[in-house]
Amino acid sequence: MNYDLSDEEQALYDTVSDFADTVVAPEAYSYDTERRLPMEIIAQMGEMGLFGLPFPKKYGGQGGDYVQLCLAVEALGRVDQSIGVTLEAGVGLGIMPIYRNGSPAQREQWLPDLIAGRALAGFGLTEARAGSDAGATETRAVLDGDDWVINGSKQFITNSGTPITSLVTITAVTGERIGRNGDAKPELSSIIVPSGTPGFTVEEPYDKVGWHTSDTHPLTLTDVRVPSSNLLGDRGRGYANFLQSLDEGRIAFAALATGAAQGCLEEALRYAKERVVFGTSIGSNQHVAFKIAKMQARVHQARLAWLDAARKMVAGKPFKLEASIAKMVAGEAAMDNARDATQVFGGYGFLNENAVARHYRDSKILEIGEGTTEVQLMIITRELGLAS
């Protein structure tokens, strides 16, 4: 496996890193304090073509691949995880399901604005009692003539309530199917619900520990009526289609976590060289230097893990195991590096205006979102043949 970046990939990473350092980072504390998604920055990301990185040029994309998307996500995650996850979720959960499973008419209607970054989309899977256990989904969709009538609710849906959100793809039970053992199982389908549809309510945003800039809402659907043509993909294939996006999304999520771990490393290294105590920099003390050395090792491991998974995915090889490993390793690296960076900064690391304090609050979700660490361990053991 070759982990080296091509000249094109390195140039992309450098360009997005410069954008992150000069445009995103200086305002990150303000946006975090205001708890708002800066639409002006999202617009600039759209103009840079970041939302179109892995999509063909015929749809307005950049003609790149998933590795390039992950490099952009990592570069943004260094300075602001909320901005990074807006890109990650906007592509992986918003655009990719329509690109992968949409009809020609659906692609023509939705992809141009989404790929250009003029619009955002979300994916509504999680509910109060359903998430990893999608079979517990309670949202129902019933055909009434040529319309689906949807009732239910969703939780923790990213990019669902921004000023430019154009749609949310939701999963709903559309009937029952007989399983192999003769038992009835819920038939889960994906349906596109445009923003502003009567009965589709985006509730107040969550008061989250971190990711204050990321747009996250609960959703309520009350007698929501959409055309039957809004079914995304085949009926009954909603969860299967989502699993494909989820496996891919875990790689991008790992890249985001790697960026967070890298950002913490950079801040701790800078401070350790600048901060002088008793006439010498704290970085010259072995206990601080060793802590930072471990941070570097975590970043290296996390980056190798997501690059390995991404290269396999792009090559058309199986990558489910590698994606779960990457997501778990990178999420833990981000959390561990955030803790250690805060310790290096001491009292200054406890101030919200400090980037490492924001990473400390933000990084915990990296061990939860896109499947918890425990879920990743379940997947890894299954892939090893140790569990059914």
Q: Which helix (H) or strand (E) holds 194?
A: strand 184-194
Which of helix, strand or coil describes residue 300?
A: helix
Q: State the DSSP string of 231-261.
A: EESSTT-HHHHHHHHHHHHHHHHHHHHHHHH
**Residue 63 pLDDT greater than 80, yes or no:** yes
**Residue 71 pLDDT greater than 90, yes or no:** yes
Band (pLDDT 50/70/90 cuts) for residue 177 is: confident
183-207 pLDDT per residue, tens:
778 899 999 999 999 999 999 999 9
Sign of CA dihedral 91, 75, 248, 367: negative
**Residue 283 pLDDT greater than 60, yes or no:** yes
Q: Are 17 and 5 in contact (CB under 8 A)?
A: no
* Half-sphere CA count of 387, side-chain side, radius 13 A: 9
Q: Which of 263, 236, 233, 223 is nearest to 357 (CA)?
A: 263
pLDDT of residue 244: 79
8-37 pLDDT per residue, tens:
999 999 999 999 999 999 999 999 999 999
Taking the C-alpha atoms of residue 334 and residue 285, their distance in angstroms, rounded to an integer, is 23
| pLDDT, mean of residues 39-62 | 97
| pLDDT, mean of residues 112-129 | 95
pLDDT of residue 184: 77
pLDDT of residue 180: 73
Using only C-alpha atoms, what is the Rg of the chain?
A: 21
pLDDT of residue 133: 77
Band (pLDDT 50/70/90 cuts) for residue 129 is: confident
pLDDT of residue 4: 87
Q: What is the mean pLDDT of the chain?
A: 95
Taking the C-alpha atoms of residue 29 and residue 66, their distance in angstroms, rounded to an integer, is 29
Please state the CATH superfamily assignment of the domain spanning residues 240-383 in this structure. Answer: Butyryl-CoA Dehydrogenase, subunit A, domain 3 (1.20.140.10)
For the question of residue 274 being annotated catalytic, the response is no
**Residue 1 pLDDT greater than 60, yes or no:** no
User: What is the residue type of 241?
Assistant: N
326-358 pLDDT per residue, tens:
999 999 999 999 999 999 999 999 999 999 999
295-321 pLDDT per residue, tens:
999 999 999 999 999 999 999 999 999
Which of helix, strand or coil describes residue 371?
A: coil
pLDDT of residue 328: 98
Which of helix, strand or coil describes residue 88?
A: helix
Other CB atoms within 10 A of residue 257 CB: 35
| 318 backbone dihedrals φ, ψ, rounded to 5° | -60, 140
**Tokens at residue 143, please?**
């055909």
Q: Are 324 and 380 in contact (CB under 8 A)?
A: yes
Band (pLDDT 50/70/90 cuts) for residue 228 is: very high
Question: Can you list the alpha helix ranges (DSSP code H) found in 20-59?
Answer: 25-34, 39-47
pLDDT of residue 136: 87
Q: Tell which CATH architecture fits domain 121-236.
A: Beta Barrel (2.40)
| 2 backbone dihedrals φ, ψ, rounded to 5° | -100, 115
Q: What angle do CA 165, 170, 173 make, to 5 degrees?
A: 165
202-222 pLDDT per residue, tens:
999 999 999 999 999 999 999
**Residue 179 pLDDT greater than 80, yes or no:** no
pTM recorded for the entire structure: 0.95
CATH code of 7-120, in short, is: 1.10.540.10
Tokens 């959960």 sit at which residue? 93
Q: Which residue is catalytic, options 203, 267, 370, 374?
A: 370
Domain boundary assignment for the chain: 7-120, 121-236, 240-383
Strands 165-178, 184-194: parallel, antiparallel or unpaired by DSSP?
Answer: antiparallel
Q: Same CATH topology for 7-120 and 240-383? A: no
